Amino acid sequence: MQLKKYLYSFIYDNTETELSKLESKYIFNAEDKNKLLFSDIKIAPSSSAFIKNRLELISFSEDYPTLIENIKKENITIEGFKVEYLVIEGDTLEYKKRLGKLKDIGYSIEGIPDYYNPTVTYALCLFEGIWCFGILTKNKYAWQKHNKKPCSYSNSIGINIAKALVNIAATGKNENDLLDACCGVGTIMLEACFAGYNIEGCDINWKVCRDARENLAHFNYTANVYRSDIKDISKKYDAAIIDLPYDLFSKASDQDFLHIIASTSKITDRLVIVSISDISKLIHDTGLKISDSCSVSKPGKTNFSRKIWVCEKIE
């Protein structure tokens, strides 16, 4: 059996299931199964809120002794390494036996281990009867520092959603130029900058533009924020994200939504739109087609959900 190069593990709750799978579709061209996904595509776990870790395969075998022999043949020499055991669904091996297998691998690597500050973390797991060994990269959740941004509004979308929107819009390609067409205080822009995407933002409200710039500067990110009506933006982008205004501070009508969507569609062929109501008719009225959609709700608030629409121009 030939496995792909990377094994990704996911973590999300029931309210985020649809969003996580939509994000995976546009990053990996596949959805996870039981929160696991094999892929030849390499991305940093920290670029997504839903990827827990990534295992880069070095060796695998259905026969455990054969795996150990293969690891020895790799002649791995490194100081300060660590080996972990990843327990995935279907693995019923008891704890003591897991520890024994970790010792087997430790003795197969030249070097002194460091369990507290490892230079490299290796991992072993059993996936559908196949023993897998490789380099483990964890999502360290450093992006959660954005929760402490100096300027914030209670209606701002959460970080998990913001990160997913960026990945869906850019399809995981860091070279794509993105626009946050209603950037607000820059929640989406912060996540794009953290993950290394090229993004600019605009908003008609000068106060939120000021706050977005302050948030970006606070984390030493560099990105343009324009105080402008979207109709006055002429630069072309690979994709745009629109979190449509809906709160008490930014009241908007269907006509306003139509204006924002139609104007944005003039400067990009790909839009990812967030709304709190069904705007499918408005989207079609602007000459766009909906290629995908999903819903994400707030935990504990079953009466409130956001709709996410992936849209493209009709050719």
pLDDT tens, 273-314?
Answer: 999 999 999 999 999 999 999 999 876 655 678 999 999 988
According to CATH, the topology of domain 6-138 is VC0802-like (3.30.2130)
pLDDT at residue 302 in the model: 58
Residue 250 pLDDT exceeds 60:
no
Which DSSP string do the residues of 23-74 spell out, in sequence order? HHHHHHSS--BTTEEEES----GGG-SSEEEEEEEEEEESSHHHHHHHHHHT
Residue 177 pLDDT exceeds 90:
yes
Write down the domain spans for the chain: 6-138, 142-313
Measured distance CA(270)–CA(290) in Å, rounded: 10
* Lookup: tokens for 190: 């912060």
Which DSSP string do the residues of 189-210 spell out, in sequence order? HHHHHHTT-EEEEEES-HHHHH
pLDDT at residue 248 in the model: 44
Q: What is the pTM of this model?
A: 0.93
Measured distance CA(253)–CA(268) in Å, rounded: 23
Residue-averaged pLDDT of the chain:
94
Average pLDDT over residues 84-94: 92
Residue 247 pLDDT exceeds 90:
no
Residue 98 pLDDT exceeds 70:
yes
pLDDT at residue 156 in the model: 80
* Lookup: tokens for 241: 């994200």
| CA-angle at 139, arms to 201 and 144, nearest 5° | 45
Q: What is the CATH superfamily name and number for domain 142-313?
A: Vaccinia Virus protein VP39 (3.40.50.150)
Q: What pLDDT digit, counting tens, does each position of 185-218 carry? A: 999 999 999 999 999 999 999 999 999 999 999 9
